Homo-oligomer: A and B are copies of this chain.
Amino acid sequence: MRHELNFWLLGGDQRQVRLAGLLAEDGHAVHTFALGPAGEGVREERTLAGAELADCVVLPLPAAGPDGRLNAPLAGAAVPLEEVFDALRPGQIVCAGRVDAGTRALAEGRGVRLLDYFAREELAVANAVPTAEGAVQIAMEEMPAALRGARALVVGYGRLGRALAPRLAALGARVTVAARRYDALAWAESFGFDACPVKELRECLCGYDLVVNTVPAPVLGAAELGELKKECVVIDLASLPGGVDLEAAERLGIRAVQALSLPGKVAPATAAAALRQTICHILNELGV
Known contacts A137-B140, A144-B267; decide if A122 and B166 are in contact (CB<8 Å). Answer: no
Whether the pair B143, A190 counts as a contact (CB closer than 8 A) is no
Query: Of residues A124, A140, A266, which shows the largest number of chain B Cβ atoms within 10 Å of its Cβ?
Result: A140
Tell me which residues from 252 to 285 in chain A have a Cβ below 8 Å from any Cβ of chain B: 266-270, 273, 281
Whether the pair B143, A267 counts as a contact (CB closer than 8 A) is yes
Whether the pair A190, B133 counts as a contact (CB closer than 8 A) is no
Instruction: Judge if A69 is at the interface, Cβ distance under 8 Å.
Output: no
Which of B149, B182, B281 interacts with A192 by CB under 8 Å?
B149
Quick one: closest B residue to A148, CB to CB? B129
Whether the pair A136, B125 counts as a contact (CB closer than 8 A) is no
Give the contact stretch, choosing among A29-37, A41-49, A167-175. A167-175
By size class, the interface of chain A is 35 or more
Known contacts A137-B141, A267-B144, A269-B145; decide if A121 and B190 are in contact (CB<8 Å). Answer: no
* Nearest chain B CB to A138 CB, angstrom units: 9
Which of B122, B183, B266 interacts with A122 by CB under 8 Å?
B183
Please give, as numbers and ranges, the residues of chain B lying within 8 Å of A96 by CB-CB distance. none
Interface residues of A (CB under 8 A from B): 120-126, 128-130, 133-134, 136-137, 140-141, 143-149, 163, 166-167, 170-174, 182-183, 185-187, 189-192, 231, 266-270, 273, 281
What 5 pairs between A and B have smallest CB-CB spacing? A170-B170, A172-B192, A121-B183, A145-B269, A125-B186
